[in-house]
Amino acid sequence: MSRTEYPEFTLAAIQAESIPFDVDASTDKACHLIEAAADQHATVAAFGETWLPGYPFFALQPPSPLWWQAAAEYLASAVEVPSPTTDRLCAAARRTGIDVVIGVVERDQRTKATVYCTLLFIGREGVILGRHRKLKPTHAERTIWGEGDAVGLKVHERPYGRVSGLNCWEHNMVLPGYALMAQGTQIHVAAWPGREASSAPPPPVSAWSRQLLLSRAFASQAGCYVIAAGGLRVREHLPEGYRDLCRSDLTGDSYIIDPRGEIIAGPAKGEVVLTARGSLEAVYAAKVACDVGGHYSRPDIFQVHMNGQPLERLLMSERSEPPSSSADNPEVRTFQESTTPGPAYTKEPVDGNRSGRVKPPNKRLQRTPASGRR
């Protein structure tokens, strides 16, 4: 019997249909589902990828006049962060006293013309803890979603543990997951559209979700719990005019996985709040075996550099007339120097005809300094 008291918690995967193209109705349903998760004593509850107000099912079809109509409506029904919609989600989290991680279709506040596949992290205090925009949409998703940055690629410290999240095939990219593992994630949300194939497609077909495989691999590598939250979608429940653009249903197939990579709940079927109990004891035991950001790493051989600054397209200057060159403008020089990617390397002295060697600092995960103009 252990003499140490470890924090315990209840993890919840909310598997349900949203109402496509209807952000208000979907938000109403999300708030009710958050209450349902709280009724099951959830500590943290997770929704699937772009649950609010839905995954872009039409993206998998070739462009047509109907396709463009659906894409325009998808953009119009997206969520801005923050907004009255996120205020309602925050109020639900505060009212029920649980943390919420929900996939949203986030519209760019500046251009109003690009949407991102975003995971929104909301604390039980009723505040937005952070957001993560999917770094690289997959295949046909690239016709709909923009590329995200690493501003939100971070672990959120909560009273019961450290929480992180990624969308879908970001789990197949390796490095985004490593960045979170190196920050010490303990509870991870793997958000998926929601479909686990009964068998692999015939070769050479190489792209399908593999949500269970990748979620279990992440849990084992990170030594953390994983809430693999999948969404639901039934073709007959889509607006009638868009049903011809939907190729297949989404069946959810949510799971909860322990830090050894073993399934402890699921697969979920239908609309349900799937729950499982967890403890940091299991996390610590798993990380004793393998901490890929600590004792099970080789920073003298491998290092990851992560640019944590926002990807700004438009940089506004306060000067009425720009100088003739950057050399004449110390502000431009400072900006250029501060945003140069990569760590600050130091050269060793040149030995004869050998070129100078660079030695990176001995760190496992490096962040670009937050200073400098954005």
pLDDT in tens, 114-170: 999 999 999 999 999 999 999 999 999 999 999 999 999 999 999 999 999 999 999
Helix and strand counts by DSSP (H, E) for the chain: 7, 18
Smallest CA-to-CA distance from 223 within 168, 308, 161 is with 161
Q: Is residue 353 part of a domain?
A: yes
Q: Which pLDDT score, from 0 to 100, does residue 61 have? A: 94
- Structural domain ending residue among the three candidates 247, 263, 289: 289
Tokens representing 302 are 């491998």
From CA 277, how far away is CA 298, in angstroms rounded? Answer: 34
From CA 59, how far away is CA 30, in angstroms rounded? Answer: 24
Answer whether residue 285 shows pLDDT above 70: yes
Work out the pLDDT band at 317, boundaries 50, 70, 90.
Answer: confident
Task: Quote the distance between the C-alpha of residue 121 and its chain's center.
Answer: 9
Axis-axis angle for helices 175-182, 211-222 (nearest 10): 30
Q: Per the omega criterion (within 30 degrees of 0), is the bond before 53 cis?
A: yes
C-alpha angle 265-135-302 in degrees, rounded to nearest 5: 90
What is the domain extent for residue 38?
8-289
Same domain as 305, residue 285: no
Give the chain's mean pLDDT.
88
CATH number assigned to the domain comprising residue 95? 3.60.110.10
Same domain as 309, residue 235: no
* Mean pLDDT on 85-105: 98
Work out the pLDDT band at 351, boundaries 50, 70, 90.
Answer: very low
Bridge partners (DSSP) of residue 164 are 188
Q: Which pLDDT score, from 0 to 100, does residue 208 have? A: 75
Catalytic residues: 49, 134, 168
Which residue's entry shows tokens 């999948």? 230
Q: Which pLDDT score, from 0 to 100, does residue 320 have? A: 63
Tokens representing 45 are 């509850």
Q: Is residue 168 part of a domain?
A: yes
Smallest CA-to-CA distance from 260 within 284, 292, 294, 228 is with 284
From CA 247, how far away is CA 236, in angstroms rounded? Answer: 12
Q: Which pLDDT score, from 0 to 100, does residue 312 have? A: 87
From CA 44, how far away is CA 12, in angstroms rounded? Answer: 6
Answer whether residue 363 shows pLDDT above 90: no
Answer whether residue 354 shows pLDDT above 50: no
Which residue's entry shows tokens 């039980």? 124
- Structural domain ending residue among the three candidates 229, 255, 289: 289
Answer whether residue 366 shows pLDDT above 70: no
Same domain as 45, residue 193: yes
Q: Is residue 294 part of a domain?
A: no
Work out the pLDDT band at 322, boundaries 50, 70, 90.
Answer: low
Same domain as 231, residue 84: yes
Tokens representing 63 are 């462009």
The structure's pTM equals 0.84
Q: Is residue 360 part of a domain?
A: yes
> DSSP per residue over 164-222, as a string?
EEEEGGGGGSSHHHHHHHHTT-SEEEEEE-S---SSPPPTT------HHHHHHHHHHHH
Same domain as 329, residue 276: no
Same domain as 185, residue 60: yes
Work out the pLDDT band at 201, boundaries 50, 70, 90.
Answer: confident
From CA 318, how far away is CA 163, in angstroms rounded? Answer: 39
- Structural domain ending residue among the three candidates 289, 318, 342: 289
User: Between the CA of residue 164 and those of 77, 105, 183, 191, what are the distances in Å?
Assistant: 26, 18, 9, 11
Q: Is residue 1 part of a domain?
A: no
* Mean pLDDT on 189-193: 97
Answer whether residue 329 shows pLDDT above 50: no
Task: Give the chain's domain count.
Answer: 2
From CA 374, how far away is CA 371, in angstroms rounded? Answer: 9
Answer whether residue 253 shows pLDDT above 60: yes
Tell me which of 4-18, 66-80, 231-245, 316-330 is least confident. 316-330
C-alpha angle 254-263-232 in degrees, rounded to nearest 5: 5
Q: Which pLDDT score, from 0 to 100, does residue 333 have? A: 40
